[in-house]
């Protein structure tokens, strides 16, 4: 597991688990630990976490996303839960409520990854949006699916077969004016055009 290195820009990441039952203590939330575990291994920058565990309420979800971006200054916000077709699943609607721009490619790729495992992946409605200088991503609810959609799929030799969505996240954040995020290639090899790459801190170009 790589440790954050000095010289990398600090990053503020909001993580939101949307669950009626977990938010009231009926069962233990597994979404926040899954998000922080994967991101903590993938991101080399020093990270300040801003976690929230909330109920499936559209206005509450939207309010939380606005707070994380507008007040807490998060550069990246990831949600888990509430993206299915059930009446209480309103995370995508709440996410679109706060959007300046929609980024549908993230949701399309998440469904492509999940369809490798279950045909019901087409029922998921994850989306992504930009609000000000932050990227907001909806992720699935299961820890295994969270890791698969972020990291992508590898073959028996460890070669990438299907790219995960996080490979595109650092460059997206570059383009909207956020910090330069470095990743551990062993977990996620972030893609940037050559013209957008910077030398690692402590090295020359």
- Find how far residue 73's CA is from the centre of its chain: 16
Q: How far apart are CA 184 and CA 93, in angstroms?
A: 33
Side-chain half-sphere CA neighbours of 196 within 13 A: 16
| Cβ-based neighbours of 157, under 8 Å, separated by 6 or more | none
* Domain ranges across the chain: 11-196
State pLDDT tens for residues 140-186. 989 999 999 999 988 887 777 888 999 999 999 999 999 999 999 99
State pLDDT tens for residues 8-41. 999 999 999 998 877 777 678 889 999 999 999 9
Are 174 and 130 within 8 A, CB to CB? no
Whether residue 61 has pLDDT greater than 50: yes
Whether residue 2 has pLDDT greater than 50: no
For 119, the enclosing helix (H) or strand (E) is: none
In the chain, % of residues over pLDDT 70: 95
Whether residue 110 has pLDDT greater than 80: yes
Q: Give the class (CATH, top level) of 11-196.
A: alpha beta
State pLDDT tens for residues 121-148. 999 999 999 999 999 999 998 999 999 9
pLDDT mean across residues, the chain? 92
Whether residue 103 has pLDDT greater than 50: yes
Please report which confidence band the pLDDT of residue 201 belongs to, taking 50, 70 and 90 as the band edges. confident
């Amino acid at each position: 597991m790589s440790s954050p290195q000095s010289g990398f820009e600090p990053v503020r990441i909001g993580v939101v688990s949307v669950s009626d039952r977990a938010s009231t203590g009926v069962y233990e939330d597994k979404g926040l630990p899954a998000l922080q575990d994967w991101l903590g291994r993938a991101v080399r920058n020093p990270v300040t976490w801003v976690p929230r565990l909330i109920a499936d309420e559209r206005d509450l979800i939207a309010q939380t996303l606005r707070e994380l971006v507008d007040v807490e200054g998060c550069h990246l916000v990831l949600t888990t839960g509430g993206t299915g077709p059930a009446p209480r699943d309103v995370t995508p609607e709440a996410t679109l409520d706060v959007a300046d721009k929609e980024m549908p490619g993230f949701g399309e790729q998440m469904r492509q990854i999940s369809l490798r495992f279950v045909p019901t992946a087409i029922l998921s409605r994850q989306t992504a949006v930009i609000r000000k200088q932050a990227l907001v991503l909806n992720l699935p609810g299961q820890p295994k699916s969270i890791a698969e959609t972020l990291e992508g799929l590898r073959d028996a030799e460890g070669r990438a077969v299907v790219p995960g969505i996080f490979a595109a996240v650092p460059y997206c954040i570059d383009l909207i004016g956020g910090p330069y995020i470095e990743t551990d290639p062993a977990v996620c090899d972030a893609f940037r055009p050559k013209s957008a790459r910077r030398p690692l801190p402590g090295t020359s170009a």
